[in-house]
Amino acid sequence: MNCRKKFHSCWNRPLSHIDLVPWIGENQYRPSGPIILGMDVSHELVDDFERWKSAFLWANESFDLIYVQTKGAIEGWDDEAALQHVHEFIRVPVVTCEEFMMPFSVLGLTQLSEEQGIRAAEMAKRIGFEPGEELRSRMTEYYSQ
């Protein structure tokens, strides 16, 4: 059963009353300010997978919506174990802005990095920017490391 099906089997409340959203992610930086539509954010930034699982449980018991960020710096992260944990304990909508976090979410507004690069290149051409050979060689060198 995927997260969306599991979620639909246990959720029956309107979302219009949500005013505080937990942000669960790696402990790399602390975003600040409201997330959307005047909602405040409660940050739960974690260093390891066990703390992520605890934060997910806490958020499911304490909030009506959860935002999951990224997983790259969460020590011991295990996709299969995370998916099993989410399936077992999901009680509220889990949302993300990261394509790779979609397996653990019911809704995502995501964009692939490749799409972002294509759009940036299209915009650069629109405003008349054409990268010279020096820039091309620097970028090739940087990305080949």
DSSP assignment string, 10-23: T----STT--EEEE
Q: How remote is the C-alpha of 114 from its chain's centroid?
A: 17
Backbone angles phi, psi at 45, to 5 degrees: -100, 130
Q: Which of 21, 30, 25 is nearest to 59 (CA)?
A: 21
Tokens at 48, concatenated:
């390891």
CA 21/CA 68 separation, integer angstroms: 10
**pLDDT averages per 10-residue partition of the chain, 145 residues:** 51 55 64 54 87 94 86 94 96 88 87 74 76 65 68
pTM score above 0.85: no
Q: What is the pLDDT of residue 86?
A: 95
Instruction: Tell me the domains of the chain and their CATH numbers.
Output: 3-108 (3.40.50), 113-143 (no CATH)
Q: What is the pLDDT of residue 104?
A: 94
